[in-house]
Amino acid sequence: MGTVAIFGAGVMGETLLSGLVRAGRDAGDIIVTERREDRAAELRAKYGVRSMANADAAAAADTLVLVVKPQDMGGLLEEIRDHLTPGSLVVSLAAGITTSYLQERLPEGTPVVRVMPNTPALVDQGMAAISAGSHCDEAHLAEAEQLLRSCGKVLRVPEKHQDAVTAISGSGPAYIFYVVEAMIEAGVLLGMPRSTSTELVVQTLYGAATMLKETGQHPTVLREQVSSPGGTTMAALRQLDDHKVRAAFLTAMEAAAARSAELASGND
């Protein structure tokens, strides 16, 4: 894979960087670029990687990984477009930014891969979906896959599904944390110390996620196993249905997908 340059090592960029280092990638083969020198210095000290200006990193890298906010992507592409080495691969992790957006702003024929990752990559449990641009061959896709596999699972999807992926697994961790927050608050409301409530909720989430993954059973079956006739779970689930929580999730994820579709147009 040669030299990898990560352009914009904020939350997601540093997550990928840390995954590459944990997976045994030589820090000498990784470059980061950052807008602020203090941030670049922090990353150099923490990971032993090099930092450079965007144009220099574009010239030095075999694989360019773009991890700036969608709103900063146009500016970044302008900075790097004249410095790419022919044959280098461009991988974008930005929500909403399409392969055509990237291809239109990069030299003709540049292979690009669009990726939607998520933050559990920080603990090697990421879920990334990748889609090929029109100048990509199997080797390019395999390279992007290898890059992302350093910190979790990777799935190939048609690009038309990337806005939905963004709504489900890209933003998904935030919905789960939101539900966790609400359940912890409920424990506090019911008179428990916050630390006890937190421990109960976090282990319940971990246990439920492990059951889903390890038993392979449908969530409906698993939910029914918890729901005794006339019992406590049904009393709670009825309230969730009365408050249209399922419908709220559908509407929320439709909104996330719609927002993803909007982002490449530069709407702030």
Ligand X SMILES: NC(=O)C1=CN([C@@H]2O[C@H](COP(=O)(O)OP(=O)(O)OC[C@H]3O[C@@H](n4cnc5c(N)ncnc54)[C@H](OP(=O)(O)O)[C@@H]3O)[C@@H](O)[C@H]2O)C=CC1
Ligand Y SMILES: O=C(O)[C@@H]1CCC=N1
Q: Which residues are annotated as a binding site for NADPH?
A: 54
Which of the stretches 81-89, 117-125, 133-141, 192-200 binds ligand X when contact is defined by CB under 6 A?
117-125
**C-beta nearest to ligand X: residue:** 10
Q: Is 73 in the site for ligand Y (CB under 6 A)?
A: no
| φ/ψ bin of 216: left (φ > 0), alpha (ψ from -120 to 50), beta (otherwise) | left
Q: Is 46 in the site for ligand X (CB under 6 A)?
A: no
Pure H helices in 190-231: 194-215, 219-226
Is 113:146 a contact under the CB 8 Å cutoff? no
Q: How far is CA 111 from the centre of its chain?
A: 21
Farthest CA pair distance, the chain: 68
Residues 79-98 that bind ligand Y (CB under 6 A): 95
* The one-letter amino acid at 255: A
Q: Is 34 in the site for ligand X (CB under 6 A)?
A: yes
Task: Give the annotated binding-site residues.
Answer: 54
Return the one option of ligand Y, ligand X, none that residue 126 interacts with (CB less than 5 to 8 A, by type). Answer: none
**C-beta nearest to ligand Y: residue:** 170
SS3 at position 90: strand
Nearer to ligand Y among residue 127 and residue 141 (C-beta): 127
SS3 at position 30: strand
Neighbours of 223 (CB within 10 A): 12
Binding to ligand Y by CB under 6 A, coded x per residue (else -) over 162-181, reads ----x---xx----------
- Using CA atoms, how far apart are residues 138 and 143, in angstroms rounded to an integer? 9
- Using CA atoms, how far apart are residues 84 and 59, in angstroms rounded to an integer? 5
**In the complex, what is the shortest distance from the CB of residue 153 to ligand Y, in angstroms, rounded to a whole number?**
16
Q: Is 56 in the site for ligand X (CB under 6 A)?
A: no
Nearer to ligand Y among residue 51 and residue 166 (C-beta): 166
Residues 170-209 that bind ligand X (CB under 6 A): 170
**In the complex, what is the shortest distance from the CB of residue 166 to ligand Y, in angstroms, rounded to a whole number?**
5
Return the one option of ligand X, ligand Y, none that residue 161 interacts with (CB less than 5 to 8 A, by type). Answer: none
Q: Which residue spans within 93-169 are E strands per DSSP?
A: 112-116, 126-132, 152-156
Identify the helix (H) or strand (E) that includes residue 47: helix 37-47
Binding stretches for ligand X (CB under 6 A): 7-8, 10-13, 33-36, 39, 54, 67-70, 72, 75-76, 93-95, 116-119, 170
Binding stretches for ligand Y (CB under 6 A): 95, 166, 170-171
